[in-house]
Structure 1
Amino acid sequence: MSDKDTKKEHEHEELQENTANAATEEELNQVDETAEQANAEAQQQDSTAVELAEMKDKFIRLMAEFENFRRRTAKERLELIKTAAEDVMTDLLPVLDDMDRASQSVGSAKDIEAVAQGLDLIFHKLKSVTIQKGLKPMETKAGDEFDSDFHEAVTQIPAPSEELKGKIVDVIEKGYTLNEKVIRFAKVVIGA
């Protein structure tokens, strides 16, 4: 072999060695990149898991807080319902006392006119107490238009006149509103 051949062979070996080294470095770089990506993904999964745990904790606390709020408001509502009538009943006690006195005096009363006046006074006292509490009678009379928001048709009769067809002919029972809310519909008869 000549020097040239040896030199070529030597260069060829060096080239193979360099190529092998380059391939190895490239593989090592790829392995490093893959390891870095895996590391980054693991860190992201860890941070996501921590964030999920925090969210679960917040959710559980919020649910417990809401449940406590619901129980507390239900308890307060029950207490309010139990004591809601107390105020009205306290205001009606004087009227009840007056009715007791009136019923006792009816048997021994000689003047029926005095008894009637006493009952009239008691009725006015009762009316004023109910008005103070927001109770108002509905103004319903024969000839008014029927309104299902305020009236309840008990029956329908032939209209005595043409103008009363579809209108209120008679009021059987007064209707009442409590603070602008209907608590009893006026019972009426409608002309057909």
Structure 2
Amino acid sequence: MEREDIKNKKNEEEQLQNQEGAEQEADVKNEKEAEEVKAQEEVAPEEQKEDKSATLAKDLAEMKDKYLRLYSDFENFRRRTAKEKLDFMKTANEDLIVSLLAVVDDFERAQKHASGDEENEALNSFKQGVDLIQNKLVSLLENKGLKSMENPTGKEFDMDKHEAITQIPAPSEDLKGKVVDTVEKGYLLNDKVIRYAKVVVGS
């Protein structure tokens, strides 16, 4: 009987030891798993932070690119608008000046046909008055940017400045393809052609 009790006690002790060992192993295993989970949890936020940082950096780069493009478009628009405004101001009186050119032409014709007879004082006074009015008008128009073209007679025909109203046989070989005569003067307004010179070209 005593032997069986001793044997039973030994079995119980062994079972207790085995149970304690198993519990310790389970505790160690659980601790390891907990540490692994904790490590994963610590690593995961860092990876998420890196992903978020990369996304934010990409978004920032895109916004910067959009901003630079928008700024560039606005600067181009501002320069273009300023240039158009300046060009408009330079040629704002174009229609009026073109209309007045006919008056300038009339004054020039009056000058050519006025007699230079020194004995006729009335006619000379009239001619001087015409000259005075013409000079004032031309001076006023020049102050607004008007400039007459150089006399193109004897020079090469230039389509950008001249308008050929007719062609005639050239009086000499060196006048072929050149301006033989100028019928009407050409004018520029701030370097823009507002009236082409009407010319006769030699063929």
Match for 2:27: what amino acid?
E
1:6 and 1:131 map into 2 onto residues whose CA distance is 121
Aligned to 2:187: 176
Shift of 1:149: 3.1
Deviation of the 1:111 alpha carbon: 4.0
Q: Aligned ranges for residues 146-165 of structure 1 at < 5 Å?
A: 146-165=157-176
Cα shift at 1:175: 0.9
1:119 has 2:156 as partner:
no
Question: Map of 1:51-130 to 2, 5 A cutoff?
Answer: 77=85, 85=93, 111-130=122-141
Structure-2 change in CA distance of 1:36 and 1:164 (3 Å): closer
Indicate the residue corresponding to 2:4 in structure 1: none
Kindly tell me the number of residue pairs found equivalent between the two proteins.
Answer: 151
Distance 1:10 1:141 in 2: 121
For 1:7-65, what per-residue CA distance to the aligned partner results, in whole angstroms no more than 9, with x for missing partners? 67754553343123211221233234435655x479859x95xx97xx7xxx7xx99xx
Which whole-Å CA distance do the structure 2 matches of 1:148 and 1:141 have between them? 12
Q: Aligned match of 1:14 in 24, 29, 34?
A: 24
Matched, 1:34 2:44: yes
Deviation at 1:176, TM superposition (A): 1.5
Q: Which ranges in structure 2 are unaligned for 5 or more consecutive residues?
A: 1-9, 101-106, 108-120
Say which one has the larger Rg.
2
Matched, 1:24 2:34: yes
1:173/1:37 Cα in 2 relative to 1: closer, same or farther (>3 Å)? same
Give the Cα–Cα distance (whole angstroms) in 1 for the partners of residues 14 and 191 of structure 2.
117
The residue type paired with residue 117 of structure 1 is Q
Q: Distance in 2 between matches of 1:42 and 1:138?
A: 71
1:96-139 deviation digits (Å, cap 9, x = unpaired): xxx9xxxxxxxxxx944433332222222222333344422212
CA gap 1:41/1:166 in 2 versus in 1, 3 angstroms: same
Partner deviation per Cα, 1:62-97 (whole Å, 9 max, x = no partner) = 99xx7xx97xx79xx59x85xx65xx99xx9xxxxx
The one-letter code matched in structure 1 to 2:188 is: T
Please state whether the residue corresponding to 2:33 is helix, strand or coil: helix
User: What's the RMSD between the two structures over aligned residues?
Assistant: 4.6
Q: Which runs of 5+ in 1 are unaligned?
A: 93-98, 100-109
Between the aligned partners of 1:183 and 1:23, the Cα distance in structure 2 is 92
SS at match of 1:143: coil
User: TM-score normalized by structure 2?
Assistant: 0.51
String of CA shifts for 1:133-160, please: whole Å, max 9, x gaps: 4422212242111223322223333323
Identical positions, percent? 45
Return the letter of the residue paired with 2:182.
Answer: V
User: Measured at CA, do residues 35 and 111 of structure 1 come closer, stay the same or move farther in structure 2, by a change above 3 Å?
Assistant: closer
Distance 2:174 2:52 in 1: 86
